[in-house]
Amino acid sequence: MPVALSIAGSDSGGGAGIQADLQTFAALGVHGTTAIACLTAQNPREVKGVQPAWPQMLRQQLEAVFEELPPAAMKTGMLYSRNLMVVVADFLETHRVNVPLVVDPVMVATSGARLLRTDAVRLLQKRLLGRATLVTPNTMEAALLWGREVNTVEDLRAVARWLHEHHGCAALVKGGHLKGLKVAVDVLFDGREEWLLEAPWVRGVSTHGTGCTYSAAITAGLAKGLSLLEAVSQAKDFITQAIAHSQRIGRHQVLGWRADKVRGNLKAGGCNCGDPACQSRQGGVY
């Protein structure tokens, strides 16, 4: 069984972070390993507190995993501080880690709490994005990285190209927070081709952990040997189903992590996003 590694934060509510990643890895048939960068006291409504790991402990977790359970692919999630980001970047460099790396630049929680310190954003760009196979920002994270607002599908396309141009990695810019669209639209750019991925909106459901689950599903696909396009397409289907099959737990909806009926979700035909500014009229690859 392939091994996947998540370097991220622990969510006491079980809906995001390491917990969501492990649920996703299990559903998609890979063995999940972890290096916990921080503990969070949170639920779907709020983040009550964050306790970063000691840098030495984070490094020891990475060493323990790579010594006996070398991952076939890995992802980063909430790293929170500059010190912890340095630990991860130094480890990747000194150990010459050469497996697919998905960087989910977790900066802001669904509740609005800031999850990445300001001084760590530049370090993320300087030390991690250049080593990444793929970066997966949502519109808020993309705006922080790009320095401009992201409000349209054309903005998704522009920031995806900007991320590749400045950092050399493929970019999946997620449009789930865009307003006024008929479908949930993401843009993938790998430096050569650009793809539009769309899925139906799941109405009346509000969950957290979608970004963690999406990036973990991509990581699982890469660990199983899928191409980047195949892994992203499968993951788009997986997260759409996880939202559609969410369950009521307490006073909140929690994602339903299940892998049945995952087909892949590349758009065929003209764009149906409903954004009048969108110029993508040539189908899924444009």
Under 8 Å between Cβ of 170 and 228: yes
CA distances from 249 to 13, 20, 66, 241 (A): 11, 15, 36, 17
Q: By three-state DSSP, how is residue 220 classified?
A: helix
Active site residue 77: no
Select which of 9, 15, 17, 211 is catalytic: 211
The three-state DSSP-derived secondary structure of 25-60 is HHHCCCEEEEEEEEEEEECCCCEEEEEECCHHHHHH
85 sits in which H/E element: helix 82-94
Select which of 136, 210, 213, 240 is catalytic: 210
Select which of 9, 175, 209, 284 is catalytic: 209
Active site residue 174: yes
Select which of 15, 77, 136, 212 is catalytic: 212
- Which one, of 75, 70, 78, lies nearest residue 95 by Cα? 70
Token pair in block for residue 153: 């599908």
Active site residue 110: no
Active site residue 209: yes
b/e map of 151-168 (b: 16 or more CB within 10 Å)?
Answer: bbbebbbbbbbbbbeebe
Select which of 13, 15, 174, 267 is catalytic: 174
**How many whole angstroms separate alpha carbon 238 and alpha carbon 260?**
9
As annotated, the active-site residues are 174, 207, 209-212
